[in-house]
Amino acid sequence: MTRTLTTRKGPLHFPAFVPVTTFGEKYPLDDLIRPYLPRLAPAVMVSAFFLQDAREAPDLSVPLLVDSGGFASVFTAAAVTRTRAGLGVIDYQGRRITPGSVLDLQERVADVGFTLDLLIPPGLPTRDARRYHTLTRANALWALHNRRRTDLPLYGVVQGWDAQAAAELAQEYREAGFDGVAIGGLVPRLSQPDVVDDVIRAVRAAAGDLPIHAFGIGHPDHVARVSRLGVDSVDSSSYVKYAADGRLYSAPQVRHAHLTPHERVHLALCNLAAATGASLPLPAARFSTLTTRTLQR
């Protein structure tokens, strides 16, 4: 039986690979690829980090998922996590990410939202890990209780330093009435597959029938692995990052140098089609045949 999530743009069918896109001048390849995304993917993910000043939703025909942007800001110079009124906030570059600012943005532009989490990377001191865990929980419950749009499915985001900590949050989110559970912090742990597996199994058991999303999982091998463990959807920008580096998912060891922008678009579309199982649109397929021959030569 196919599992789905109801959004204002229609049902999002699982399992789903959700490509990440960005807006702005930093990643120009995304602008060239974006028109193809609705033809190849069931939904699109954008980080709030790249939509902070948006007043209207991007013009897409598929559901737009908007995460909190907390993960992106962690890797911004001088980002600082603070506690304000019992909630976790992130200050960077003169801006502040709060549960309120994230929810306001999501209610303006998103079809699916995710609560503001604080990344717990491997090796973080236990004292800090427990603090971030507590603040992630507080942020999630605040967003759920202050949500105004009844047609905005909201995922509570899980962060934990081990499977038990992650499962505790997942169970509380299920009991509180969230529409789904999202797992953060897996990407820095992909080199520890047993840890990743344990976290996913524990969250799957604790979340009951709620859909589970895993942030940042993109390579088809990783997607297949987490899907077998019960993850319903994943998101990633790796399909375009591989292309920007001149590589295909199917042959990551081969790097094609000196490519034109259109050839990089071709690689990205091939990667995305491999991840979603979709067929390339006819114009892209025609272009694909020619470019593939060129790359092979």
Query: Tens digits of per-residue pLDDT, 118-138?
Result: 999 898 899 999 999 999 999
The architecture CATH gives domain 16-296? Alpha-Beta Barrel (3.20)
* pTM given for the model: 0.91
**Residues of the chain scoring pLDDT < 70:** 1-2, 53-55, 72-77, 281-297
Query: Tens digits of per-residue pLDDT, 185-208?
Result: 999 999 999 999 999 999 999 999
Question: What pLDDT does residue 74 have?
Answer: 64
Could you write out the DSSP letters of every residue in the chain?
Answer: ---EEEETTEEEESSEEEEB---SSS-HHHHHHGGGHHHH-S-EEEEGGG-TT-SS----SSPEEEE-SHHHHHTSTT-EEEEETTEEEEEETTEEE-HHHHHHHHHHH-SEEE-------TT--HHHHHHHHHHHHHHHHHHHHH---TT--EEEEE--SSHHHHHHHHHHHHHHT-SEEEE-S-GGGTT-HHHHHHHHHHHHHHHTTS-EEETT--SHHHHHHHHHTT--EEEESHHHHHHHTT-BTTBTT----S--HHHHHHHHHHHHHHHHTPPPPHHHHHHHHHHHHHHH-
